[in-house]
Chain A
Protein backbone atom coordinates (compact mmCIF):
# COMPACT_ATOMS: atom_id res chain seq x y z
CA UNK A 1 0.00 0.00 0.00
CA UNK A 2 1.12 3.51 -0.66
CA UNK A 3 2.24 5.52 2.32
CA UNK A 4 3.90 8.81 3.17
CA UNK A 5 5.94 9.15 6.36
CA UNK A 6 6.98 12.41 7.95
CA UNK A 7 8.93 11.44 11.04
CA UNK A 8 9.22 14.90 12.57
CA UNK A 9 5.94 15.93 14.21
CA UNK A 10 7.44 19.25 15.27
CA UNK A 11 10.60 21.19 14.56
CA UNK A 12 12.19 24.46 15.64
CA UNK A 13 14.60 26.53 13.59
CA UNK A 14 16.35 29.82 14.25
CA UNK A 15 15.42 32.67 11.96
CA UNK A 16 17.75 32.92 8.92
CA UNK A 17 18.94 29.34 9.36
CA UNK A 18 18.21 26.50 6.93
CA UNK A 19 15.96 23.60 7.87
CA UNK A 20 15.25 20.19 6.34
CA UNK A 21 11.85 18.54 6.66
CA UNK A 22 11.88 14.82 6.06
CA UNK A 23 9.54 12.85 3.83
CA UNK A 24 9.77 9.21 2.86
CA UNK A 25 7.28 7.41 0.69
CA UNK A 26 6.36 3.93 -0.29
CA UNK A 27 4.95 3.04 -3.67
CA UNK A 28 5.24 0.36 -6.31
CA UNK A 29 4.26 2.76 -9.07
CA UNK A 30 6.99 3.80 -11.48
CA UNK A 31 5.51 7.16 -12.31
CA UNK A 32 4.46 9.51 -9.55
CA UNK A 33 4.67 13.10 -8.42
CA UNK A 34 5.80 14.43 -5.09
CA UNK A 35 4.50 17.70 -3.69
CA UNK A 36 5.07 19.85 -0.65
CA UNK A 37 2.43 22.13 0.79
CA UNK A 38 2.47 24.67 3.59
CA UNK A 39 -0.57 25.17 5.81
CA UNK A 40 -0.56 28.25 8.05
CA UNK A 41 -2.95 28.48 10.97
CA UNK A 42 -5.53 30.04 8.64
CA UNK A 43 -6.02 26.60 7.10
CA UNK A 44 -5.30 27.26 3.45
CA UNK A 45 -2.90 24.81 1.78
CA UNK A 46 -0.20 26.61 -0.18
CA UNK A 47 1.67 24.77 -2.93
CA UNK A 48 5.44 25.02 -2.52
CA UNK A 49 7.27 22.66 -4.84
CA UNK A 50 6.86 19.65 -7.14
CA UNK A 51 9.18 16.79 -8.11
CA UNK A 52 8.38 14.20 -10.75
CA UNK A 53 9.64 10.68 -10.31
CA UNK A 54 11.49 10.83 -13.63
CA UNK A 55 13.01 14.25 -13.03
CA UNK A 56 16.77 13.91 -12.82
CA UNK A 57 17.41 17.24 -11.18
CA UNK A 58 16.20 18.30 -7.77
CA UNK A 59 13.40 20.85 -7.90
CA UNK A 60 13.95 24.37 -6.60
CA UNK A 61 11.53 27.25 -6.07
CA UNK A 62 13.04 30.31 -4.50
CA UNK A 63 14.02 29.46 -0.92
CA UNK A 64 12.56 25.97 -1.27
CA UNK A 65 14.42 23.01 -2.68
CA UNK A 66 13.61 19.34 -2.75
CA UNK A 67 16.30 16.78 -1.97
CA UNK A 68 15.02 13.86 -4.03
CA UNK A 69 16.66 10.48 -3.50
CA UNK A 70 14.66 8.02 -5.56
CA UNK A 71 16.48 4.87 -4.49
CA UNK A 72 15.85 5.74 -0.84
CA UNK A 73 12.33 6.91 -1.64
CA UNK A 74 12.84 10.18 0.12
CA UNK A 75 11.83 13.71 -0.87
CA UNK A 76 13.04 16.06 1.81
CA UNK A 77 12.13 19.75 1.72
CA UNK A 78 14.90 22.23 2.42
CA UNK A 79 13.98 25.77 3.40
CA UNK A 80 16.88 28.17 3.28
CA UNK A 81 17.12 31.41 5.29
CA UNK A 82 14.05 30.70 7.43
CA UNK A 83 11.66 33.56 8.08
CA UNK A 84 9.10 34.04 10.84
CA UNK A 85 6.36 33.64 8.26
CA UNK A 86 7.56 30.11 7.56
CA UNK A 87 6.02 28.93 10.83
CA UNK A 88 3.29 26.52 9.71
CA UNK A 89 2.42 22.89 9.10
CA UNK A 90 4.19 21.31 6.14
CA UNK A 91 2.73 18.36 4.24
CA UNK A 92 4.39 16.02 1.81
CA UNK A 93 2.05 14.46 -0.76
CA UNK A 94 2.35 11.86 -3.47
CA UNK A 95 0.24 11.31 -6.54
CA UNK A 96 0.23 8.45 -8.95
CA UNK A 97 -2.32 7.74 -11.64
CA UNK A 98 -5.36 7.34 -9.46
CA UNK A 99 -4.13 7.85 -5.92
CA UNK A 100 -3.47 10.92 -3.85
CA UNK A 101 -2.04 10.60 -0.36
CA UNK A 102 -0.70 13.09 2.16
CA UNK A 103 1.72 12.60 5.00
CA UNK A 104 0.80 13.48 8.60
CA UNK A 105 2.66 16.76 8.44
CA UNK A 106 5.48 18.51 10.31
CA UNK A 107 4.87 21.59 12.42
CA UNK A 108 7.68 24.09 11.91
CA UNK A 109 8.27 26.94 14.33
CA UNK A 110 10.73 29.68 13.43
CA UNK A 111 12.34 31.34 16.46
CA UNK A 112 13.43 34.98 16.26
Chain B
Protein backbone atom coordinates (compact mmCIF):
# COMPACT_ATOMS: atom_id res chain seq x y z
CA UNK B 1 0.00 0.00 0.00
CA UNK B 2 1.06 3.58 -0.61
CA UNK B 3 1.35 5.49 2.66
CA UNK B 4 0.46 9.18 2.73
CA UNK B 5 1.94 11.47 5.37
CA UNK B 6 0.71 14.99 5.95
CA UNK B 7 2.36 17.82 7.83
CA UNK B 8 1.71 19.63 9.98
CA UNK B 9 -1.06 17.80 11.84
CA UNK B 10 -2.51 21.16 12.79
CA UNK B 11 -1.86 24.80 12.02
CA UNK B 12 -3.14 27.95 13.68
CA UNK B 13 -3.66 30.86 11.34
CA UNK B 14 -5.52 34.13 11.01
CA UNK B 15 -7.93 35.30 8.35
CA UNK B 16 -5.90 36.55 5.42
CA UNK B 17 -2.89 34.34 6.14
CA UNK B 18 -1.26 32.13 3.54
CA UNK B 19 -1.40 28.50 4.64
CA UNK B 20 0.57 25.61 3.15
CA UNK B 21 -0.04 21.93 3.89
CA UNK B 22 2.36 19.23 2.79
CA UNK B 23 1.65 15.65 1.76
CA UNK B 24 4.29 13.01 1.10
CA UNK B 25 3.74 9.63 -0.56
CA UNK B 26 5.78 6.57 0.36
CA UNK B 27 6.42 5.93 -3.33
CA UNK B 28 6.09 7.92 -6.50
CA UNK B 29 2.53 8.62 -7.56
CA UNK B 30 3.21 11.05 -10.42
CA UNK B 31 0.28 13.49 -10.26
CA UNK B 32 -2.29 11.07 -8.89
CA UNK B 33 -3.28 13.13 -5.87
CA UNK B 34 -6.46 14.71 -4.56
CA UNK B 35 -7.20 17.09 -1.70
CA UNK B 36 -10.35 17.18 0.43
CA UNK B 37 -11.81 19.61 2.93
CA UNK B 38 -13.89 18.35 5.84
CA UNK B 39 -15.85 20.50 8.25
CA UNK B 40 -17.12 19.14 11.58
CA UNK B 41 -20.06 16.81 11.21
CA UNK B 42 -19.90 16.91 7.42
CA UNK B 43 -18.67 14.61 4.70
CA UNK B 44 -15.37 15.41 3.01
CA UNK B 45 -15.56 17.57 -0.09
CA UNK B 46 -13.08 17.17 -2.91
CA UNK B 47 -11.23 20.40 -3.65
CA UNK B 48 -8.53 19.36 -6.09
CA UNK B 49 -7.80 16.33 -8.26
CA UNK B 50 -4.72 15.49 -10.31
CA UNK B 51 -2.58 17.68 -8.01
CA UNK B 52 -3.81 21.06 -9.22
CA UNK B 53 -7.20 20.72 -10.98
CA UNK B 54 -9.76 22.68 -8.98
CA UNK B 55 -13.17 21.11 -8.76
CA UNK B 56 -16.14 23.15 -9.90
CA UNK B 57 -17.04 25.88 -7.45
CA UNK B 58 -13.79 25.77 -5.47
CA UNK B 59 -12.38 29.27 -4.96
CA UNK B 60 -9.11 30.06 -6.73
CA UNK B 61 -7.41 30.86 -3.42
CA UNK B 62 -6.91 27.09 -3.20
CA UNK B 63 -4.05 25.70 -5.25
CA UNK B 64 -2.06 22.50 -5.42
CA UNK B 65 1.39 21.61 -6.63
CA UNK B 66 3.94 18.82 -6.69
CA UNK B 67 4.63 15.52 -8.37
CA UNK B 68 6.26 12.23 -7.55
CA UNK B 69 6.26 12.00 -3.78
CA UNK B 70 5.92 15.56 -2.49
CA UNK B 71 2.82 17.70 -2.75
CA UNK B 72 1.41 20.90 -1.29
CA UNK B 73 -1.98 22.48 -0.83
CA UNK B 74 -1.88 26.26 -0.49
CA UNK B 75 -4.62 28.59 0.65
CA UNK B 76 -3.44 31.99 -0.50
CA UNK B 77 -5.61 34.11 1.80
CA UNK B 78 -7.41 32.19 4.50
CA UNK B 79 -11.12 32.94 4.84
CA UNK B 80 -13.40 32.18 7.81
CA UNK B 81 -15.07 29.34 5.92
CA UNK B 82 -11.70 27.65 5.32
CA UNK B 83 -11.22 26.58 8.92
CA UNK B 84 -11.52 22.82 8.55
CA UNK B 85 -9.51 19.64 8.30
CA UNK B 86 -7.77 18.85 5.02
CA UNK B 87 -6.84 15.41 3.71
CA UNK B 88 -4.72 14.29 0.80
CA UNK B 89 -5.43 11.02 -1.02
CA UNK B 90 -3.36 9.11 -3.51
CA UNK B 91 -5.53 8.29 -6.51
CA UNK B 92 -3.03 6.17 -8.42
CA UNK B 93 -3.95 2.70 -7.29
CA UNK B 94 -6.03 0.50 -5.04
CA UNK B 95 -6.19 0.65 -2.09
CA UNK B 96 -6.74 4.41 -2.19
CA UNK B 97 -5.10 5.85 0.89
CA UNK B 98 -5.49 9.11 2.76
CA UNK B 99 -3.16 11.26 4.79
CA UNK B 100 -3.93 11.58 8.46
CA UNK B 101 -5.33 15.08 8.06
CA UNK B 102 -4.30 18.65 8.83
CA UNK B 103 -6.57 20.76 10.99
CA UNK B 104 -6.55 24.46 10.18
CA UNK B 105 -7.55 26.34 13.30
CA UNK B 106 -8.27 29.94 14.12
CA UNK B 107 -5.33 31.76 15.70
Specify whether A and B are partners.
Answer: no
Interface residues of A (CB under 8 A from B): none
Residues of chain B touching chain A, judged by Cβ–Cβ distance below 8 Å, are: none
